[in-house]
Amino acid sequence: MYRNIAVSTESFDAPSAPGSTFRRAARALALTVAFAALPTLTTQVGAQTTVAIRPTVGVFVPTGDQRNLLKDAILVGIQGSYNLTQNFGLTGTFGWSPNKDQLLNDEKVDLFQYDLGIEGRLNNLTPTASISTRPYATLGAGARTYHFRDIDANSQTNFLGFGAVGVDLAQANGPIGLRIEARDNVTAFKGLQAELADRKARNDLQFTAGLTIGF
């Protein structure tokens, strides 16, 4: 595994200036530290998955004025993540919630949501355990579409902004994990049938759990 390294003595024939000697010593120290840290860095990178997908299930909870219009309902979806670095990534989510319009005799209305966010994650808080624990926070934007299922009405699509916090629990050296998330959404709402004259800021919460599969 080791090779003989020939070192020329010509460079020692003439005295070196103090500044030159210091620079060579600093470079040698930097290279030594880099090579010593390389196995650790390789292990850390190898333990991280680059891409993950997760089916999710949870609950949609309208708040404020939206609570007089929509009901609490199940929320299902699919989420995908791409790690830009060990601590930052992009996350895209699609969700569907079957709901009812309380002001229209509980007519069935489907909520379709699609968004993209940038995610910041802490390092593993339990490095000595078999399960890694990584809290995270996400900020992003997207859209939500309201579609009546049984009556003739145009679908309405509104801008959506969101913030989310949660925790990833995963195998320390495996691809399977569990994500628990709480999300606060704000939408530019103009009514389920565009009945409002102006757009209003409306709020709702989402609580989900997802099975993470990393690649």
- pLDDT on residue 129: 95
Where residue 140 falls (left for φ over 0; alpha for ψ -120 to 50; beta otherwise) is beta
Which residues touch 157 (CB under 8 Å, ≥6 apart)? 143, 144, 145, 146
Q: Which two tokens stand for residue 98?
A: 């079957």
Q: Round to the nearest angstrom and report the end-to-end CA distance of the chain.
A: 33
How would DSSP label each residue in 146-166? EEESSS----EEEEEEEEEEE
Which residue shows structure tokens 């624990």? 133
Q: What confidence category does residue 172 fall into, taking pLDDT thresholds of 50, 70 and 90? A: confident
- pLDDT on residue 9: 43
| Closest C-alpha among 162, 202, 201, 160 to residue 181 | 162
CATH node for 49-214: 2.40.160.20
Q: What is the mean pLDDT of residues 181-195?
A: 96
d(CA 150, CA 173): 48
Q: Helix or strand or coil: residue 69? A: coil
What are 55-112's pLDDT values in tens digits? 999 999 999 999 999 999 999 999 999 999 999 999 999 999 999 999 999 999 999 9
Give yes or no for a contact between 205 and 197, defined as CB atoms under 8 angstroms apart. no
- pLDDT on residue 193: 92
**Burial tier of 132 (Cβ tally within 10 Å: 0-12, 13-18, 19+):** buried
- pLDDT on residue 151: 93
d(CA 198, CA 101): 20
Stretch (H or E) spanning 19? helix 18-47
Higher-scoring residue by pLDDT: 21, 182: 182
- Out of 42-46, 148-152, 196-200, least confident range: 42-46
Give yes or no for a contact between 16 and 25, defined as CB atoms under 8 angstroms apart. no
What are 107-153's pLDDT values in tens digits? 999 999 999 999 999 999 999 999 999 999 999 999 999 999 999 99
The model's pTM: 0.76
Q: What confidence category does residue 42 fall into, taking pLDDT thresholds of 50, 70 and 90? A: very low
